[in-house]
Amino acid sequence: MERPTWAPPGIDISVPSVSRIYDYYLGGSHNFEADREAARRAMVAFPGMPKIMQANRAFLRRAVRHAVGQGVTQFLDIGSGIPTFGNVHEIARAADPAARVVYVDHDPVAVAHSRAVLDGDARSAVVAADLREPRAVLGSDEVTGLLDLDRPVALLLVAVLHFTRDEDDPWGAVAELRDALAPGSLLVLTHASTDTGPMKPEEGEAVEGVYRRAGSPLLMRSRAEVARFFDGFEMVEPGLVSMPAWRPEPVTGGSAHPDRPADDPAMHVGFAGVGRKP
Ligand SMILES: C[S@@+](CC[C@H](N)C(=O)[O-])C[C@H]1O[C@@H](n2cnc3c(N)ncnc32)[C@H](O)[C@@H]1O
């Protein structure tokens, strides 16, 4: 089996990882055959999987621009993944060069690549930590050194909460993060669900099964379960909607530019929302 030099020592490249499966869907090159095989199996269950991921990234970029437009220029991006086209610090900086970003992921490949991309960047950092341990995230040198928690922060939990089990109480983790943030902070979230879009419940179960066999939970949650993550936040218009329906930007030239992917029914699978802490 190929083992590229960028693979951090100690990782088993025969075991798929959600960050590398996602990288594959997005057309990236930081994935192994085990990741591609898992992605292909998920695409048998629901062929539109890559479209969902494109819609997710496009939403993320719109939400980051929205945050900067609201004067929120500090970002805590948990479950940030492998750097790809249009990373949070690049999008935020294009809108405000002073923007600060802390990336957090528990996947060693995502962390290693983020470190490489951010090398020498004084206003961005990456933390190897787990969303389910908010205190470790909040207490990390990178967060305490780079972010001023007395001022608003945009907390990005984009396509990550569906990788947590109910018994890990992800709602409790989000509440703990929320309580550490200043008024005016934003929660930016997407979550897998079959309550919106054309994925049938049985297709959703098949996709969940692929991830389970790949060693990770993936939970399609209901609208009500996703909405609970916003407890203590006021929903920003248009509320909890499918990803392309959240403040769409016009597609210019009918192009397939990754920032403005042409709409596709599969892109409406899953919820997106932004909440503001009062
Ligand atoms: C699908 S990717 C999303 C990447 C990025 N947020 C985006 O939306 O483009 C999910 C990422 O969450 C990370 N992740 C999953 N569970 C996590 C946890 N409990 N703590 C930290 N990161 C986690 C995975 O390693 C992966 O990189």
Give the separation between CA 188 and CA 130, rounded to whole angstroms. Answer: 18
Q: So what's the pLDDT on residue 259?
A: 61
Give per-residue pLDDT as tens, 81-121: 998 888 999 999 999 999 999 999 999 989 999 999 998 89
Parse the chain into domains and list their residue ranges. 51-196+217-276
Ligand 1 contacts CB of residue 25 (under 6 A)? no
Asked if the bond preceding 278 is cis, omega within 30° of 0, the reply is: no
Residue 76 has pLDDT above 90, yes or no: yes
Is the predicted pLDDT of residue 50 greater than 60, yes or no? yes
Residue 1 has pLDDT above 90, yes or no: no
Distance 180 CA to ligand 1 centre (A): 21
51-196+217-276 homologous superfamily: Vaccinia Virus protein VP39 (3.40.50.150)
**Ligand 1 binding pocket includes 131 (Cβ within 6 Å):** yes
- CA 131 to ligand 1: nearest atom: 20
- Give the closest residue (by CA) to ligand 1 atom 13: 79
Q: pLDDT (tens digit, 9 = 90+) per residue, 231-251?
A: 999 999 999 999 999 999 876
* pLDDT (tens digit per residue) in 17-28: 999 999 999 999
Q: Identify the helix (H) or strand (E) that includes residue 211.
A: helix 201-213
**pLDDT tens-place string over residues 169-187:** 999 999 999 999 999 999 9
Please check whether residue 101 is in contact with residue 89, taking contact to mean a CB–CB distance below 8 angstroms: yes
Ligand 1 pocket check for 63: Cβ under 6 Å: no
Atom 12 of ligand 1: nearest residue by CA position: 79
- pLDDT at site 2: 64
The pLDDT of residue 9: 78
Q: In sequence order, what are the residues at sequence separation of 6 or more whose Cβ sits closer than 8 angstroms to the Cβ of residue 90?
A: none
CB of 170 within 6 A of ligand 1: the answer is no
Give the integer Cα–Cα distance in Å for 108 and 141. Answer: 18
What's the 53 CA to ligand 1 centre distance in angstroms?
12
Contacts of residue 4, Cβ cutoff 8 Å, sequence gap at least 6: none
Contact 2, 32 (CB under 8 A): yes
The reported pLDDT for the residue numbered 187 is 98
Cα 78 to averaged position of ligand 1 atoms, centre (Å): 7
Q: Which helix (H) or strand (E) holds 104?
A: strand 100-105
- Chain segment 137-155, per-residue pLDDT in tens: 999 999 999 999 999 999 9
Buried residues in 74-85 as b, exposed as e (16+ CB within 10 A): bbbbbbbbbbbe
Looking only at the bridges linking them, the beta strands covering 241-242 and 271-276 are antiparallel
Report the first-to-last Cα separation within the chain, whole angstroms.
52
- pLDDT value at position 263? 81
